[in-house]
């Protein structure tokens, strides 16, 4: 069993044992996921970019567990929707490689965020 499948099974089991599936509609899970993403944002909102690279030990540990929370909800909603996250991620990167060819966007005068804006 792959490490990801093992984690997915553990995540699913946790919810099933507690009879919490009833609350886990994709709609609700999308809300829970963004709430966790905001917990992450909160840790960085008053820091400079430089400070965000140099988190003290205790802060890094909190951030680590927020990343875990986001990952768990991401796996949960993927399972509910029948989405293979690994496949989807690889496919998205391939799409981005075509959209932003390295030789064209690297060192270009166009700002990075203009490329990102065009991906919407």
6-45 positions binding a second copy, by CB under 8 A: 7, 10-11, 14, 17-20, 22-23, 25-28, 30-35, 37-45
78 belongs to the binding site for a second copy (CB under 8 A): yes
d(CA 120, CA 108): 20
Q: Identify the CA nearest to 84 among candidates 21, 28, 4.
A: 4
Footprint of a second copy on residues 51-70 (CB under 8 A)? 51-53, 55, 60, 63-65, 67-70
Member of 1, 57, 58, 72 binding a second copy (CB under 8 A): 72
110 belongs to the binding site for a second copy (CB under 8 A): no
Size of the site for a second copy (CB under 8 A): 80
Contact by Cβ (8 Å): 97, 74:
no
Contacts of 9 (CB under 8 A, 6+ apart): 1
């Amino acid at each position: 069993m792959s490490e990801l499948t093992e984690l997915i099974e553990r995540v699913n089991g946790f919810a099933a044992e507690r009879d919490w599936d009833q609350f886990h509609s994709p709609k609700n899970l999308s809300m829970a996921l963004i709430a966790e993403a905001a917990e992450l944002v909160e840790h960085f909102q008053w820091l400079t970019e430089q400070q965000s690279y140099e988190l003290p030990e205790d802060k890094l540990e909190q951030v680590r567990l927020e990343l875990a929370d986001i990952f768990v909800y991401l796996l949960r909603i993927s399972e509910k929707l029948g989405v293979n996250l690994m496949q989807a991620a690889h496919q998205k990167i391939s799409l981005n490689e075509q959209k932003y060819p390295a030789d064209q966007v690297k060192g270009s005068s166009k700002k990075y965020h203009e490329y990102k804006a065009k991906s919407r």
